[in-house]
Structure 1
């Protein structure tokens, strides 16, 4: 029996984590979302027999809501937590398919602040309120979902121009994970940054892109093909979740994985 907290479970990869982890009825799986009412409806409709799922309100940009979620989690689990999976993230169309020099400076500044508020500061606050429970857990694993876009060698060698502000936020979180590792590995806590690869959540609409964005997308895809000729497109959320959870289970402090930045293959192969 293990206990899990997963953020951002209302859809996509987060909901798939919820689905897969709750298959084992002995697991206690707690999902944090900004809108718990709609998430509970989705769980009731798609996973009606999963009494081991608990949906709680938790907004990464609202510290008080995270403190309340941690207290509610403690009441559910008896004061401990085995796994914390920081899946929730802010994503913007501003830099998704535009090179950084093509974004208006004011827009770039505002967008970067939003990225940092959620993807970095929000996760920092999440860690702080849940670490007391993790320290009392049996497994003691803390996982942040990151991106291969934050790999400097990958960016420079294959001309990955888009997603610059998003990548910056993920790179910052990778550093924070490594720093937490240096502090808590002696207490048995594994901190890990894992990229799930390209995940097809069904939300991508190329018809909504401008000509410049389409050109930037083509440059990125050319880089992907050069980097990984076998790459054929995004993974489905169920496959992506399986891959990430496999890496999480196989990783350990003893193997030298503390603070590591890994792909869904458990190495540095991002695609």
Structure 2
């Protein structure tokens, strides 16, 4: 009966993780969210049972430590698999390049992205590490992005979402450092995994945003002519889980891989 904790579980990919994992009653599933009541209401509406909802922002270390204590009470001090999905995708820069933005705006978004996606990642991993140490699986998967691949960016001139991509590249190295400290010494698997290009859009886009995204999709098609477009969140979660389940410290420790378990981002 493995235990899972998913951060950023109130919507999008994180919620898809919760739906997928809770479908198996043998799993113990924890959903870490910023606003607990609305998530519990959504779970009830969707008929999802057996999910333990915890409230904490990933940039709030005391709240994360309190959440870890709640998990510990339910699991007798352990956690098998931590999937750190929560992230700040970005503000206006998600649809623009660094060119044409003010240095002040760029610096502000870089700071916010690093605080959530790098500092926040360190907070989450540190808060739940004692439970992972006591778990049977001892696995930590940090959700990242193929946009953080420098070769991809350079080869195909992908200039969008700079703060997000830069912060994810930093997060990947942070994960490598955790592996260096925990992999061989303690047998704890820590690695980064990209979910692929996933269709989680719920709100309306402006015409300009649609144009920009269309251009980005064209770039992706250039990168991978076989690519058929964004996949569903459920498809992504299924593929990611397959990778996580077969991943070992020896093969995947500190790695930055796709939902296929390699460097095929699309």
In structure 1, what is the equivalent of residue 44 of structure 2?
44
CA contact (8 A) 2:195 2:237 kept: yes
Residue 128 of structure 1: CA displacement?
0.6
Residue 202 of structure 1: CA displacement?
2.6
In structure 1, what is the equivalent of residue 20 of structure 2?
20
In structure 2, what is the equivalent of residue 266 of structure 1?
261
CA contact (8 A) 1:14 1:88 kept: yes
Deviation digits for residues 165-191 of structure 1 (CA, Å, limit 9, x no counterpart) = 100110011001111001101211001
Deviation digits for residues 178-228 of structure 1 (CA, Å, limit 9, x no counterpart) = 110011012110011000011111336443426xx83x5454333211111
Partner Cα distance (1:230, 1:68) in 2: 46
Partner Cα distance (1:250, 1:12) in 2: 24
In structure 1, what is the equivalent of residue 252 of structure 2?
257
Partner Cα distance (2:154, 2:196) in 1: 18
**Candidates 98, 104, 107, aligned match of 1:106:** 104
CA contact (8 A) 1:195 1:263 kept: yes
Assess, with a 3 A threshold, how the Cα gap between structure 1 residues 230 and 93 changes in structure 2: closer, same or farther: farther
Are residues 1:90 and 2:88 paired?
Answer: yes
- SS in structure 1 at match of 2:77: coil
- SS in structure 1 at match of 2:249: coil
Paired residue total: 265
Q: How does 1:54-73 map to 2 (within 5 A)?
A: 54-73=52-71
Bigger shift: residues 33-42 or 102-111: 102-111
Bigger shift: residues 197-206 or 258-267: 197-206
- SS in structure 2 at match of 1:4: strand
Partner Cα distance (1:163, 1:135) in 2: 35
CA contact (8 A) 1:80 1:134 kept: yes
Assess, with a 3 A threshold, how the Cα gap between structure 1 residues 175 and 155 changes in structure 2: closer, same or farther: same
Deviation digits for residues 17-43 of structure 1 (CA, Å, limit 9, x no counterpart) = 011111221211001000000001111
Residue 244 of structure 1: CA displacement?
1.1
Aligned-pair RMSD on alpha carbons? 1.5
TM-score by length of 2: 0.95
Residue 234 of structure 1: CA displacement?
1.2
- SS in structure 1 at match of 2:26: coil
Partner Cα distance (2:83, 2:96) in 1: 29
In structure 1, what is the equivalent of residue 146 of structure 2?
148
Residue 259 of structure 1: CA displacement?
0.4
Q: Which runs of 5+ in 1 are unaligned?
A: none
CA contact (8 A) 2:90 2:163 kept: no
Q: How does 1:112-191 map to 2 (within 5 A)?
A: 112-186=110-184, 187-191=186-190
Residue 134 of structure 1: CA displacement?
0.3
In structure 1, what is the equivalent of residue 201 of structure 2?
202
In structure 2, what is the equivalent of residue 231 of structure 1?
227
Assess, with a 3 A threshold, how the Cα gap between structure 1 residues 124 and 234 changes in structure 2: closer, same or farther: same
Partner Cα distance (2:126, 2:252) in 1: 21
Partner Cα distance (1:201, 1:232) in 2: 16
CA contact (8 A) 2:91 2:109 kept: no
